[in-house]
Every structure is written in C-alpha cells, then in structure tokens.
Amino acid sequence: MKARTHLTGLITIIICCLICSCSGKKPSADSDDIQANNIRNYLLNAAREITERSATDVLSLEEWEKIKPQRYNDFIEMLGMQDMPVTGEKTPLNVKITGTVQQEGYHIEKLYYESLPGLYVRANLYVPDNIKTPVPAVLYLCGHSLTQKVHYQTHPAKFARLGFVCLIVETIQYGEVRGQHHGCYARGWFHWYSRGYTPAGVEVWNAIRGLDLLAERPEVDDQKMGVTGISGGGAQSWFTAAADPRVKAAAPVCGASTLEAQITTRTIDGHCDCMMMINTYRTDFQNIGALIAPRPLLIGQADRDGLNRVESVQQIFNDLKKIYGLHNAAGNIGYIETPGGHSYHQLSREKIFSFFIEHLMGKKVSPEEAGDIDLSDKNLLSEEELKVYVDGPPADDRTTTIQDSFVKLAQPPDISDENELTAFRNSVTGFLKTRTFGAFPENPPAFDPVRIFRTLDRAPRGSDIYSFVSEEGWRLKADIRWNNDPTQKKPLMIVLRNRDENRWDSEGFISSLSDNWNIAFLEVRGVGELGWDPNLQWHVRRASAWTGRTIASMQVYDVLRCIEFCRSLDGVNPDSVGIAARDDMGVVALYAALLDGKCKTIILKDPPATQDAPSSPDGRGAAIEMLNCLRVTDVYQLPALLTPAEVIFVGDVPESYKWSEDILIRLGKKPF
C-alpha cells in the first residue's frame, strides 16, 4: 500500500512539472487544490471559521454595547421576523379559554391565542391556586413530540406546584394542528431559503406572543418571566431569550451545538429546519448567547446526545463565560451535563427548577429540595383532557400555510422610466450583496493561473485550458476555444456547463454563435469534475445554507471570478464578455451578469420561471435557491435589470419573463 501511495505521488509530481513547463510557471501551493476540490472540506472550513469568529469577535464590553443593536437587528432578520412588530404595537391576542381542569394545588386553562391575524396557538396555562400577589412565570416550549403539551405536561405541572404560572405552547408542526417544520428537511421546499423563511421565526414569534399573554395575566409578575424547553424547544428557548429582553432567565436543554460540530459530524442531517436561522450574517450560538447576556442562562446537555456533540456545547459554554465575564456576571451562566441520549435527566430537571426559583423568585433552593417531575399515573392527563379545540380549529386558521405568508416577498414594481429602473437595480444589487451573497470573500485569493493544456485543434485558432483559483480550496478550469487570433482582443462568451449534461451538449447549444466570439466553457462547483455524489446533494444544500451560502450563490461567485480572470487574458475584449446558460444554470448566469454589471450579452435556454418553487424532496437535481433573494426580486425580473446588456432566449420564453419584456418595451429598449 505504501509503495502504491509513493508511486501515485511521484506521478502527480511529474504531471505538475509537465503542466508548469507548458506555462513557464513553477507550481505553487495552491496548485495542489486541483486535487483538493471537495465540498465537504469547504463547508467544514466555512463552519469552523464562523464558529471561531463567533467566539472571539467581542473583545470588550464597550465594543459590544456599540455593536449590540445591529447584532440584534441582524438576529431578528435571520429569524425572518423583520416584518413583525417585535418592539412595536402588536395585534390583539384574542385569547379564548375553552375549558378548565382542576388539579391538586393548581388548575389548567385550555386556551388558544391569535399571534397574528389567523395564526392561532394552542396552549395550556398552569396556574397555582389561591394566588394573592403576582408571581413569576415560565414559558415552556415544546420539542418535537407528536403530542406536545401532553407529552411535556409534567414540566408545567411541576412549575405550578413550585408556585410559578406556566404556559406551555404547541408548535405549528405537531399537536392538535399539524403544520410544517420539515420544508427543506423532507419536502424539497428549499425555496424557503430564497424566501428568507425558517419555522424558527414563527415559533419565536408565537413564543413572544405567549410572553405577551403571560404579561397580561393579573396572576403574573411580568418582570419575572423565564423560558425553557428541550430539543426544538431548547433551540427556541435560546432564540426567544435573545429576541425578547422580558425573558429574565433561560434554561435551554439539548438545543444547541456549534456550527462547526454540526457540519463536521453531520448531526445537521438529523436536525429540523427550526433549529437554525437563515444564517445570512454567518453567526453561531455564541453570538446568540451574547444577546442573552448578562441575564441568567443555564445550558443543559446530555453527554451522548446523537444530535448535539457534547464537546461543542461545552465550547459554547466556555466561550459565553468570557462574554458574561465582560459584564461582571460570570455567576449568571451555568452548565449542567447529564448522562444519556437526547433527553432530560433527573439531574437536569431538578437543576432547572432550582435555577428558576433562584433567579425568578430570589430564593436559594438546592436541586434536591426543588425536586423532580411527578410521573405517577394519577397526575398524568390524557390527550382528550388537555385538548384545546373542542370543535376543531377556527375556520380561518393559517397554521398549515403560515410558511407562505410569514415573510413578505417583494412584489414586482411598476417601472415607468429609466430613473426608476436604475433605482430598482441599485436597490436589488445592494440588497443581494449583503443578504444573499454576503459570504463572498472580502479579499479574494490570487488567481494563480496555470495553463494546463494547449492545442491547435478543437477551434480555428487553437484552444487553451487554464486552471485558476476561484475561492480558497477551489480550482476551476476555463476551456477557451479561440475562433480568433488569441493575441487580438475579441468578444468572449462564457458557456456554463450543466451538472448532468451529455457530452457535446454545451457545444451544440452554442454552435450557432457568431465566429466573432471566442468561447470559454466553464464548470462551476457542483458541475462535472467539481461535482459530488447526488446522494450528497441534500446535505450540501442544507449545510451550505447554515453557513450563509447556497450552491447557486457559490456558483455565481465562480462565474464572477471566471469573468474577472478571462478579462485579464490578451485575447479577450474586457468590454465584450457574455454568458450563455441552459436550464437551472440560467439563474446563475443572470445573477452573475447583474452583479458584474458589465456583461454585453446573455444567452438563455429554458431558464426556470421563478425561484419560488419547490424541488425534489430528496434534495437531488437543480438547486437554484439563494438566501433571501425573493425578498427583493425573482429571476424573471433580472433581464430588465441587465439593460443595456442584450438578453437572448433560445426557444420558448417562460411566461413570467413577460414582466421584464414589458418593461423593456415601455422604456423603448429592444425586447427579447
């Protein structure tokens, strides 16, 4: 085995030497990336960078106070709640109590409230009997259990016996009404990323409205409210405490681990879409915890959790201790680790009860004194006994469709003159650069070009294949066919190959192009030699989004880098570069041309009609989603924004593109 490895290495060295002898250039360290293009390694490095930066980017309390407001706004936006009146006037809750169950020492009100018009939340409110003065309250957020408030009932019951008012709310996914958490996870609704939608946003909003409900109750001291939950409820406890300063203490359990750990161990593959924000600004749980600080935070974690690597939770805790230290509040953060899998343990439950007694009631009570939940049959109520909707949900309930309206999408504007078109183009590109393509490297690496092949065949004036660095860890190849003298500057058409094309498909597609154009064939990430196993596509799409990018956005960046590289070649007129693409690569071509701003011609065949459409549930196939893009535009609007560039369609034009065609005609420009 060693002999074979050494022989392979020797052959690689010889090939590299031959390549560099053609270019007259010595091999560089980056040249090794020809062998190293690997999407898993790339995403792992991206996740590691985010995790490490999240732990070290706050150096002083003074610095943090300056950036905290923007960090908070970014966080709210990544939850998709930018359209919600988080700090403003909210719509009426319209609380409806449908029944009461009396238990020993407390009673349970079965109720629902309207967090948004038509969005109803089922809940049980546990209230201690004989309350004389307002008492602290705890919001309990359910994990991914089918029966929700029934499965977790022992927790609010224990809080009530300890003297807390406790509201337990059901998620939109499970319980009495079954909505959707698993859009990207199981249904192929990857356009959620394009919408900037995550079910975490709805759950946090419903939790905030739950706090509103508690604050309105005369039994509750609204200055002493806390939040807790496990798994999905643990993640939402992190998010809710960061989003709402009325939360004075939080105890999330098995709800977080670092992004680096999620990608490295692929535990992300087991996580629901509600466990992460739309990671526009590439953040991690240390940043979320920083928004909670210096309020009391107890992190609970099991040591054999199959969804959260325990060492990464320890890392989050250790990093946050430093943040709490900046506030001189190191005593306000705690960590409890318990044996077992993804679950509670008596130790964590008792510690949580003791934690809330201390920080909301101001009493020092040991975990043992606080005690555990009561699992005796006589105190467990049935699903029917805790049911809220006696006669079914309200007729106008939006729970099952809230994903279609929670985030406001941009409507195509009415453009009547050149100034309005320019203003719209500027607003679109400005938005996209920060909220869709923000993961583009601020300082791109050198191209480090290597001419790896040259021939006088394949084109009238020969052909060159150049290797160049697109982004750290990725080398692309531009296969340039010279129809004209390569020492004279002529137009260049960059043809994007498809991920599943047959041999010569791209050559046939572009065969009718005028000979005045030289041609460069390009394989971007995910295509051809830079592709990956189709079975990996689902993981790559989700992991990319969790690191603040998508397959399509990375491909756009590859095209932009190729354009920049080709413009540096002697035989290319930098003012006459075009892009040609078919099928889903048409989305990549249009966005690349928009961001480049100087492309002369774009040739499209069968481009997608919209980015607001589901894809295959198994994640395979076209991946045209781009974070947040539908909040500002859609692909069919881009041909109008590209003017004065010429957009040429080969074959039928999707009906949606008529919007762009009408704008061009209205402004006296050449239509498609």
**For the chain, which ranges sit under pLDDT 50?**
1-35
Residue 395 domain-assigned?
yes
Residues 653 and 604 in one domain: yes
CA 561, distance to chain mean position in Å, is 24
Residues 436 and 307 in one domain: no
Residue 309 domain-assigned?
yes
Residues 519 and 550 in one domain: yes
Residues 397 and 422 in one domain: no
Residues 446 and 379 in one domain: no
Q: What pLDDT does residue 59 have?
A: 81
Q: Which of 381, 404, 427 is the last residue of a domain?
A: 404
CA 247, distance to chain mean position in Å, is 25
Q: What pLDDT does residue 17 have?
A: 38
Q: Match 């990323």 to its residue by tokens.
A: 193
Residues 221 and 332 in one domain: yes
Residue 32 domain-assigned?
no
CB under 8 Å to 432, separation ≥6 — which residues?
A: 591, 594, 595, 629, 632, 633
Residue 413 domain-assigned?
no
3-state helix/strand/coil string of 231-300: CHHHHHHHHHHHHCCCEEEEEEECCCCCHHHHHHHCHHHHCCHHHCCCCCCCCCHHHHHHHHCCCCEEEE
CB under 8 Å to 441, separation ≥6 — which residues?
A: 471, 472
The pair of structure tokens assigned to 70 is 């923007």
Residue 8 domain-assigned?
no
Residues 484 and 531 in one domain: yes
CB under 8 Å to 572, separation ≥6 — which residues?
A: 489, 490, 492, 518, 566
Residue 253 domain-assigned?
yes
Residues 282 and 342 in one domain: yes
Instruction: Determine the Cα–Cα distance for residues 3 and 8; give it in Å rounded to an integer.
Output: 9
Q: Note down the domain range covering 108.
A: 61-404
Q: What pLDDT does residue 20 have?
A: 40
Residues 517 and 572 in one domain: yes
Q: Which of 375, 404, 433 is the last residue of a domain?
A: 404
Instruction: Determine the Cα–Cα distance for residues 398 and 468; give it in Å rounded to an integer.
Output: 50
Instruction: Determine the Cα–Cα distance for residues 558 and 525; give it in Å rounded to an integer.
Output: 7
Residues 464 and 560 in one domain: yes
Residue 475 domain-assigned?
yes
Q: What pLDDT does residue 88 have?
A: 86
Q: Match 């919408």 to its residue by tokens.
A: 195
Instruction: Determine the Cα–Cα distance for residues 239 and 19; give it in Å rounded to an integer.
Output: 52
Question: How many structural domains compose the chain?
Answer: 2
Write the CATH number for 266.
3.40.50.1820
CA 69, distance to chain mean position in Å, is 21
Q: Which of 379, 404, 429 is the last residue of a domain?
A: 404
Q: What is the dihedral of CA 138, 277, 272, 41, to 10 degrees?
A: -140
The pair of structure tokens assigned to 46 is 């991206």
Instruction: Determine the Cα–Cα distance for residues 662 and 671; give it in Å rounded to an integer.
Output: 8
Do 162 and 382 contact (CB within 8 A), yes or no? no
Residue 400 domain-assigned?
yes
Residues 482 and 375 in one domain: no
Residues 431 and 383 in one domain: no
Do 232 and 272 contact (CB within 8 A), yes or no? yes
